[in-house]
Amino acid sequence: MPDSTTPTFPAPGAPVPDFDMPASRGRHVRLADMRGRPFILYFYPKASTPGCTTEACGFQEALAALGGTGIPVIGVSRDSMKAIDTFADKQGLDFPLASDATGTVTEAYGVWVEKSQYGRKYMGIERATFLVDAEGRLVRTWRNVKVPGHVAEVMTAAATL
């Protein structure tokens, strides 16, 4: 049984936690606005870092290849809107990148976790992706994502919805 420090991810088939966040280019993203269509919600640690840039650009390329007819993608980090807007503009990202500055959404999705680097422990976002169906239920989760090949795997799974 998880204790209060163990993150809890939504279970497959369960409704995903609600969200309502400001997003890049003056947009706002809400779970309520996504009802009726499947979507991809991915969490990334920090805007403008190498792995996050590769992942975001991978989603942008996949969406461009679908000619705008593909499944919606929303990226989420705890960065400020200024950092997110700079990142989106510099990389030419057309899909929304949301700011969870309060941490409410990252905690609800179980991706705010203790990390360790060079022996230093700190809290940060676990790179994770959630595939959600048109009724707002979780279809699949990818945790501790390794960026190479990840976008292709997610888009293949999304094509089955």
Can you state the angle between helices 150-158 and 50-65, rounded to 10 degrees?
Answer: 40
Three-state SS at 157: helix
Run of H or E including 127: none
Instruction: Give the residue ranges of DSSP H helices in 22-149.
Output: 31-34, 50-65, 81-91, 104-108
Please, what are the domains in the chain?
20-158 (3.40.30.10)
Spatial separation of the C-alpha atoms in residues 160 and 33, rounded to whole Å: 22
The answer to whether the beta carbons of residues 113 and 97 sit under 8 Å apart is no
Q: Describe the chain by its helix, strand, coil percentages, rounded to 5.
A: 30, 30, 40
Q: Which residues pair with 117 in a beta bridge?
A: 120
pLDDT at residue 2 in the model = 41
**Strand duo 128-132 + 138-142: pairing:** antiparallel
Which residue is catalytic, options 40, 52, 73, 154? 52
In this prediction the pTM is 0.91
Three-state SS at 110: coil
Q: Does 57 participate in catalysis according to the annotation?
A: no
* One pLDDT digit (tens) per residue for the chain, 161 residues: 344 455 577 789 999 999 999 999 999 999 999 999 999 999 999 999 999 999 999 999 998 887 666 799 999 999 999 999 999 999 999 999 999 999 999 999 999 999 988 999 989 999 999 999 999 999 999 999 999 999 999 999 999 88
